[in-house]
Structure 1
Amino acid sequence: SEGRGIRSAGVDIPANCKIKKKEHSSQASPFTTQPRRDSLTKTTSILVQFMMHMYKMKRPILKVDMLKIINKKYKNRFPEILRRASFSIEVVFGVDLKEVDSTKNAYVLVSKMNLPNNGMVSRGRGFPKTGLLMNLLGVIFMKGNCATEENIWEFLNKMRLYAGKRHFIFGEPRKLITQDLVKLKYLEYRQVPDSDPARYEFLWGPRAHAETSKMKVLEFWAKINHTEPSAFQSWYDEALRDEEERCSMYIISSMS
């Protein structure tokens, strides 16, 4: 799509960046848009809540239990409802649905990264922050592997996340991104060299490099936009180079 910017995960992709999109794809962030109002939206939302509850309880999710909470008139559309719920959970929370027992139709939710407390960062109530972290890593990657604090807040504000204002999923965002995720070494938050007055920027932290990759982050963004990673041309090329370097480093380390 040329001539206008494309919003990926709440971030404006430059208008001069050519991105091929699948037909009927969504260009909006899953965090900011209202769900499509159809007969299955409420049922899908209820299923998402149930699945996230089971995830927090560290218990498997059984098809028989999911069917119990779905309106009887929608039971024949269970596969579609499950796909919708799985997609929502992945793009918002950064958690994948995996089948672990095909005979019992048992599933578990697996975080894309190893954040503490099932992705909730700190103990207690709350929701996984992995989806937000994957988006932040994407912003940093697409801004040349270093995003200014202004870039990050522009992105967060589009998600309706504001400094000092608690969000029902992500908590207080400034503390999360400048303290919690920095302390856990998923983000690096540093002063821009020679800036006066002081300005700050974000980079990937060592744990982000260890637990994910540019390609995985690009795949995450592509899924949100219902397209393929190769649609993000220049970033896809960089991600491929990164994969090759990782492979070479692994071979060298295994030989030493």
Structure 2
Amino acid sequence: MPSCTQSCLLEPQGTPATSSRDAGVSCPGSEEGAQSQDEKSESSSQAAPCTHRICRDPLNRKAATLVLFMLEKYKMTDSIPQAALLKTVNKYEKHFPEILSRASEIMEVVFGLELKEVDPSSHSYAFISKLALPSEGGLSDESGLPTSGLLMLLLGEIFTKGNRATEEEIWEFLNALGVYAGRSHSIFGEPRRLISKYFVQQKYLTYRQVRHSDPPRYEFLWGPRAHAETSKMKVLEFVAKSTGTVPSAFPDLYKEALKDEEERAAVRAAARAAAVAEGRAHYRAQARSSSHM
């Protein structure tokens, strides 16, 4: 479940958490377009009280405003002088350190961007990427905003659901973040397009029909690139950070992530051993060839 701070950002204007009756995703490569969800999406409104209560906090509202300002600067690849940040918070200047801290947390959790002071003399800042996905440079929508943070949250949701999440579960999760199918989001645009074009087509997510479902239902799994470019432990660390806790607070998931780390280490060790053996065989072959000459 997303933190209230994230929800305040992702639904910055306090949009009422009404359900979307058009929450299907038509994903390339599936047997047919996903069906729109009806009853399931209604439960998304249960997340609304927390979201709306937290958004009444003026410091959270200012943090959300500051994030939107930071995103504009990020798209223009500009450094951000502290004076501009102070101007954005306006009359809440005395609370600036707390507002900046909350805004920086949102930028890190949602977008994987860490705010760093790049020029102490002028107190100017810039963003550096810190997510685990090596090819995230290409993971952005037409707006130029990085979407790896949202992808990591979706990977985390799939992981916590037993490594597969139904389409209804994914949209309940996104609705709790203030992201609704068929409704353009101020940060992520149209979410169905984002998921189908930038996550499924690039093979970070797999979208398929649930076996033996009649009428057809659909589910999301980690795609091959997600398995190759991140790990369950890294995603669990991301989920833990987004909920203000630590990976070991999820004992079953933590145990599974540790097992995954061990398996990955074994595969890497086997690959290294195979490479060494191949190198030695090549050396011996060259040595025999030289001796015959």
Range of TM-score over shorter length: 0.7 to 0.9
5+ unaligned residues in a row in structure 1: which ranges? Answer: 1-7, 11-25
Deviates more, 1:155-164 or 1:203-212: 155-164
Following superposition of structure 1 onto structure 2, how do residues 4-43 of structure 1 map, counting pairs within 5 Å? Answer: 8-9=1-2, 29-30=7-8, 31=10, 33-34=51-52, 35-38=54-57, 40-43=59-62
Deviates more, 1:134-143 or 1:37-46: 37-46
Q: Give the letter aligned to residue 148 of structure 2.
A: T
2:34 maps to what in 1?
Answer: none
1:44 maps to what in 2?
Answer: 63
1:99 maps to what in 2?
Answer: 116
| Count, aligned residues | 229
Asked if structure 1 preserves the Cα contact closer than 8 Å seen for 2:6 and 2:106, the reply is: no
1:131 is aligned, of 149, 152, 155, to 149
Asked if structure 2 preserves the Cα contact closer than 8 Å seen for 1:191 and 1:201, the reply is: yes
Query: What secondary structure sits across from 2:101 in the alignment?
Result: helix
Structure 1 residue 67 displacement after superposition = 4.0
Render the CA deviation track for 1:191-245: whole Å, top value 9, x for unaligned: 2234343322211112222332222222222223221111111011111222222
Structure 1 residue 251 displacement after superposition = 3.3
Asked if structure 2 preserves the Cα contact closer than 8 Å seen for 1:219 and 1:229, the reply is: yes
Query: What secondary structure sits across from 1:120 in the alignment?
Result: coil
CA gap of 1:95–1:193, structure 2 versus 1, over 3 A, is same
Q: Give the letter aligned to residue 156 of structure 2.
A: G
5+ unaligned residues in a row in structure 2: which ranges? Answer: 12-50, 276-293
Q: Distance in 2 between matches of 1:86 and 1:94?
A: 10
Structure 1 residue 63 displacement after superposition = 3.6
1:120 is aligned, of 133, 140, 143, to 140
Q: Distance in 2 between matches of 1:60 and 1:28?
A: 24
Q: Distance in 1 between matches of 2:56 and 2:83?
A: 26
Larger Rg: 2
Q: Distance in 1 between matches of 2:163 and 2:80?
A: 37
Asked if structure 1 preserves the Cα contact closer than 8 Å seen for 2:63 and 2:100, the reply is: yes
Higher helix share: 2
Q: Distance in 1 between matches of 2:199 and 2:234?
A: 19
Q: Distance in 2 between matches of 1:56 and 1:234?
A: 39
Q: Distance in 1 between matches of 2:128 and 2:6?
A: 24
Normalised by the length of structure 1, the TM-score is 0.74
Q: Distance in 2 between matches of 1:248 and 1:160?
A: 41
Percent identity of equivalent pairs: 49
2:169 maps to what in 1?
Answer: 151
Is it true that 1:81 corresponds to 2:81 in the alignment?
A: no
CA gap of 1:241–1:102, structure 2 versus 1, over 3 A, is farther
2:236 maps to what in 1?
Answer: 218
Query: What secondary structure sits across from 2:116 in the alignment?
Result: strand
Structure 1 residue 59 displacement after superposition = 2.9
RMSD across aligned C-alpha pairs, in angstroms?
3.0
Q: Give the letter aligned to residue 159 of structure 1.
A: L
